[in-house]
Amino acid sequence: MNKPPEERAKDVTTVSSAEHTRRDFLYIATGAVGAVGAAAVLVPLIAQMNPDASTIAAGAPIDVDLAPIADGQIIKVFWRSKPIFIFHRTKKEVEEAEKVNVASLPDPEPDSARVKQGHDQWLVVIGICTHLGCIPLAHQGEYGGWFCPCHGSVYDTSGRIRSGPAPKNLALPPYKFVSDTKIQIG
């Protein structure tokens, strides 16, 4: 205790650097437990920002009656706060969608992969532009499908991206036909 501080400091460094001691182990073990603990605390702090239970519960499947939708009409319903476009396509619009050269598309997908078999007049897509999330306008753009006013993406009657900055086709929500005139989304 009587030694000047620099002498005492020397004692400590000599001891600890000479060989691995129990104290070194305790330092490392304590540090490691502390680091794991700090990381564990981050889990709730980060996870709290994900959708909460009520939001997930409100995202349950919904039924949509198709009977009132006229030929060529597009309606908009909401599922999980996302707009869903339900497009009752005319014969001409279906043909247009089918006869496109798939290989020439930015996101190649045949029309048959985007509708349910035997219900090819019904196109059900998530109405969110795959560029930056705007809602495209129906029956606009040169391909008779949608046009996004934000950055100019153009979609065809199958909801496929044809031109503009959007990288992908309009996404398909999970849905099934409960009967010929009713679908369940979700």
Partner 1 sequence: MSGHSTYQPQNKFLQWFEKRLPLGGLIHSSFVAYPTPRNLNYLWTFGGILAFMLGVQIVTGVVLAMHYTPHVDFAFKSVEGIMRDVNYGWLLRYLHANGASMFFLAVYIHMFRGIYYGSYKEPREVLWILGVIIYFLMMATGFMGYVLVWGQMSFWAATVITNLFSAIPGVGDAIVTWLWGGYAVGNPTLNRFYSLHYLLPFVIAGVVVLHVWALHVAGQNNPTGIEPKSDKDTVAFTPYATVKDSFFMVVFCIVYAWFVFYIPNFLGHADNYIPANPAVTPTHIVPEWYYLPFYAILRAIPDKLLGVIALGASILILAFLPWLDTSKVRSARYRPLFKQFFWLFVIVCIGLGWLGAKPPEGIYVILARIFTVYYFAFFLIVMPLLGIFEKTKPLPNSISESVLGVKA
**Residues noted as catalytic:** 151
Does residue 110 touch partner 1 according to CB under 8 A?
no
CA nearest neighbour of 107 among 174, 160, 158, 145: 160
71-to-80, 116, 128 alpha-carbon distances in Å: 26, 17, 23
Does residue 150 touch partner 1 according to CB under 8 A?
yes
Does residue 61 touch partner 1 according to CB under 8 A?
no
Does residue 139 touch partner 1 according to CB under 8 A?
no
Q: What are phi and psi of 98, to 5 degrees?
A: -80, -30
Cβ proximity of 166 and 158 under 8 Å: no
Q: Least distance to partner 1 from the beta carbon of 42, Å?
A: 13
Helices (H), 19-107: 22-47, 53-57, 91-98
Q: Least distance to partner 1 from the beta carbon of 94, Å?
A: 26
Residue ranges in 40-59 that form contacts with partner 1 under rule CB under 8 A: 46, 49-52, 55, 59
Nearer Cβ to partner 1, position 25 or 78?
A: 78
